Amino acid sequence: KGSEARPFFSPSGPAHFVRWSRDGRHIAVAAEQEWQTDGVFIVPLDGSPPRRIGGDAALDANQPAWSPDNAKVAFSSNSSGWSQIGVYHLEDGRIEWLTSDEGDKNNAIWSEDGTRLAWIYNRGEAAWVEIRSMDGTRRKVQTEAGFAFWPTFTLDGKSVLFVYENPRQPPDLWLAALDDGRLAQLTDSLPAELKGAEFVVPEVVTFPSLDGTPIPAMLYKPPGAGPRSPAAVVIHGGPNWHLGYYWHPFISHLASRGWTVIAPNYRGSTGYGLAWTAANRYEMGRLDNDDCAAAALHLVREGLADPKKIAVTGRSHGGYLTMTCMTRQPELWAVGSAVVPFLNWFTGHENAREDLQYWDINNMGDPETHHDLWYERSPFFFLDKVRAPVQFICGENDPRCPPSESIEAHEKLQALGIPSELLLYKGEGHGFLKLENIIDSDVKRVEFLAKVLES
């Protein structure tokens, strides 16, 4: 039996990472500060005042990782415009920067002897493991274009474990030997019935947004794609996330049906530097919307889609952008499916957890002082503009995107004579947990889109 829980530290903003030192004397806490700048707090358990690394306009700090000797804390910081790795020395408060180049370096981890660090290096559409020795040499763990996650050293320090996926391979555990770089796949999650399947591997493309800004995207072009092909614009959530060389069975299935699919990494996405990630701040529902709408125009312009058979779909912030697209550029879409969307900034904010309310204000201002902006960017108030069938997929207990908004929107669209379907999954939250519901919602999403695009 342990002792009763007691509060030991109360940061001013939401905490993201909590890490014990090996000797049990300190806890490192990463917490959000003003304007989404993060700080790392070194909190002594003897009650003495904590030390702070960053958390202000001068320095962002996140993702703390203790060295085995408890003398140093590695962390990531995006203050340079890309996420870099620094090391904070507890003895004198000195910060030693290990990287300064372009590309986001995150999730640093120490080897057991403290002589190496590993982290994930993400640049654009791919991410890989990188190893740094204390002499400053850096080495990439070679994999084909894909995404690596969660590196950790083996106890003997001879290898590094990580999770890796690509468009043909679901996430699996891999082992890389540090002496010769030899790779070994330890698990195989690809279902037997998909062995040998011809997956459509995406290509990286760039197209102009409505204001001319170049937008990166992943293009899935099935064999025979042409000007009469059905197509879908698939919008990622976050918004601080992106789509790259991931395993994405939903998109792969659409492409297997002969649909051209484009997944834009709109302004606000990660992977392209801090300026790009922050580019939709106070502009959500406009600039990011326009980037997604321009993706559909790009497909038509390139002769890859029938302009009368283009769907738009996405989940979370992607579901929100699905509905802004359908209300702001209704002429572009034949059908839409919004998965766990929010539609009304006001009610979404009112019903959200405190940390999510904090995020809203940092990205779209205060609901009172920025009332007109919140109203203009809420597709719920413009549903009369919708011209195509809409599907809403929601979790009953969603703390971020309340299903009540989708229920109201569904009823309003029906009253307007617009075909609308509502799927409400009992007991589910923002991310569905029951496998049967995950499968059922994806199957029904495809069926709803196909009913229009394949008619």
Q: What is the CATH number of the domain that holds 366?
A: 3.40.50.1820
Boundary (domain end) residue, out of 174, 197, 220: 197
CA 382 to CA 376: how far, in whole Å? 9
**222 assigned to some structural domain:** yes
Same domain, 333 and 374: yes
Domain shared by 126 and 63, yes or no = no
The answer to whether residues 148 and 285 belong to one domain is: no
Domain for residue 266, yes or no? yes
In a domain, 39, yes or no: yes
Q: How many domains, in total, are found in the chain? A: 3
User: Domain check: are 158 and 244 in the same one?
Assistant: no
Pair (66, 193) in one structural domain: no
Instruction: Tell me, yes or no, whether 371 lies in a domain.
Output: yes
On whether both 375 and 423 belong to a single domain, the answer is yes
Which of 147, 178, 197 is at the close of a domain? 197
347 is in which domain, residue-wise? 199-453
Domain-located, residue 5: no
Q: 285, 350, 351: which is closest to 321 by C-alpha?
A: 285
Same domain, 122 and 248: no
The pLDDT tens digits along the chain (455 residues) read: 678 887 778 887 778 889 999 999 999 999 987 767 899 999 999 889 999 999 887 899 999 999 999 999 999 999 999 999 999 999 999 999 999 999 999 999 999 999 999 999 999 999 999 999 989 999 999 788 999 999 999 999 999 999 999 999 999 999 999 988 899 999 999 999 999 889 999 999 999 999 999 999 999 999 999 999 999 999 999 999 999 999 999 999 999 999 999 999 999 999 999 999 999 999 999 999 999 999 999 999 999 999 999 999 999 999 999 999 999 999 999 999 999 999 999 998 988 877 788 889 989 999 999 999 999 999 999 999 999 999 999 999 988 888 999 999 999 999 999 999 999 999 999 999 999 999 999 999 999 999 999 98
Instruction: State both tokens at 397.
Output: 């207990």
Cβ-based neighbours of 195, under 8 Å, separated by 6 or more: none
122 and 37 assigned to the same domain: no
- Whether residues 78 and 176 share a domain: the answer is no
On whether residue 3 sits in a domain, the answer given is no
Let me know whether 84 and 114 are in one domain.
Answer: no
Final residue before a domain boundary, out of 54, 78, 102: 102
One-character DSSP codes across 175-238: EEETTT--EEE----S-GGGTT------EEEEEE-TTS-EEEEEEE--TT--TT--EEEEE-SS
